[in-house]
Amino acid sequence: GTLTEPNKEYFQVNLTTSQNGNSDNTATVVDFGANGTVQYDTKSNFDSSNDAYLLDSSSGVYLISFSIAIASNNDINVETLKDAAAQVEVATNGSTYAALFGQGYRAQDSGGTVAGSAVLGGTYIYKATTGTTKVRLVGEGDTAGSVSFDIKKAISDNTLDITLTGTATYLSIVRIA
């Protein structure tokens, strides 16, 4: 017999151009619409104008994963990142977003030493309850001296001496039930 998978749904979007100059200490939606490339979208549900993915099922169970690289906007020799945070947000009505899950990183130590960058990631199982649920990724950086922060596309963009170029900022959604 032939196995068919009518409910197969998976989505991934990768940041392909770094999103630079974001306002310090301000939650910023990752602009995948202008700065990203959709790698997979089996249901064609990516809303590029809102940088969000519309879940295809009102009762599906989804595995949502993300990674985001946040860096101070300063010269690499004058690093200023104190804190970094990221969260996946959902809008069950399609437009009003609320935090679902995320991560934070405190880069500044008790002596005031700050870092240059952080990469945060996570995975969560989510049960959809409406047919209008959208999912998006948000990042925030808090820098010393209110310098802007960047959301970086690749591992090497977030470091001084690393040559690895893998995607550092992405959002993946897979329907698992």
Q: Which residues contact 75 (CB under 8 A, 6 or more apart)?
A: none
Confidence at residue 133, expressed as pLDDT on a 0 to 100 scale? 98
Residue 45: HSE in the Cβ half-sphere, 13 Å Cα cutoff:
21
Q: Go through the chain and tell me how many residues it has.
A: 177
| Model confidence pLDDT, tens digit, residues 52-99 | 999 999 999 999 999 999 998 866 667 789 999 999 999 999 999 999
Q: Which of 48, 57, 63 is nearest to 136 (CA)?
A: 48
Q: Which of 150, 128, 129 is nearest to 139 (CA)?
A: 150
Q: How far apart are CA 56 and CA 53, in angstroms?
A: 9
Confidence at residue 158, expressed as pLDDT on a 0 to 100 scale? 67
Confidence at residue 142, expressed as pLDDT on a 0 to 100 scale? 93
pLDDT < 50: residue spans in the chain: none
User: Amino acid identity, residue 6?
Assistant: P
Q: How far apart are CA 12 and CA 111, in angstroms?
A: 40
- In the block, which residue shows the tokens 């104008």? 49
